[in-house]
Amino acid sequence: MLTRFGDELAQLVLPQRILAVLPQMKQQHLVVVHDAPSSRIPWETIQIDGWAPAISQGLSRRYLAGNLSVAKWLEQRQRTDKLKLLLVVNPTQDLPGAEREGERIESLFSAQPGVVVEKSMAHKPRSRRC
């Protein structure tokens, strides 16, 4: 069922020229650059003739907005030999099991050489309306 959905979605949202080229990229991580309306498309479910890019080599999304300067971001980016991971766990305190998930992620990444995990403890209290 998901395979059929992925194939149909690909036919609906991707131009034929893209559908023709994508299978040649099976060994590449796929990056979908999208605008706000396209962010609602479940790109991770796309399939082309039985090939699911998100499962095969991975798929990530990049939001394209006129007010975001990529050049400015690249200038400010600092290169280090360590991966810095900011872990924000359940900031609104309304996600059951999020603390356990955060602890698991923290333990997995902290055990990796070259990874620095910073855990954000700040959270917003939920506002109550009377």
Number of independent structural domains in the chain: 2
pLDDT at 63: 83
pLDDT category at 101 given cuts 50, 70, 90 is: very high
Shared-domain flag, residues 13 and 43:
yes
pLDDT at 70: 54
d(C-alpha 53, C-alpha 109), whole Å? 25
Please check whether residues 56 and 103 belong to one and the same domain: no
How many angstroms separate the CA atoms of 60 and 71, rounded? 20
Residue partners of 114: CB distance under 8 A and separation at least 6: 81, 82, 83
Average pLDDT over residues 88-98: 87
**For residue 121, what pLDDT is reported?**
65
| 61 plus 93 within the same structural domain | no
Q: With cut-offs at 50, 70 and 90, classify the pLDDT of residue 13.
A: very high
Mean pLDDT rounded to a whole number for the chain: 83
In whole angstroms, give the CA distance from residue 10 to residue 13.
5
Residues 87 and 109 in one domain: yes
Q: Are 26 and 50 in contact (CB under 8 A)?
A: no
Query: Per the domain annotation, does 128 fall within a domain?
Result: no
56-60, 66-70, 110-114, 124-128: the lowest-pLDDT one: 124-128
Distances (CA, A) of 99 to 84, 92, 126, 127: 20, 12, 17, 20
Q: Are 101 and 69 a contacting pair, CB within 8 Å?
A: no
| Parent domain of 113 | 77-120
Judge if 59 and 81 occupy the same domain: no
Residue 40 is assigned to a structural domain of this protein: yes
Is the pTM above the cut of 0.85?
no
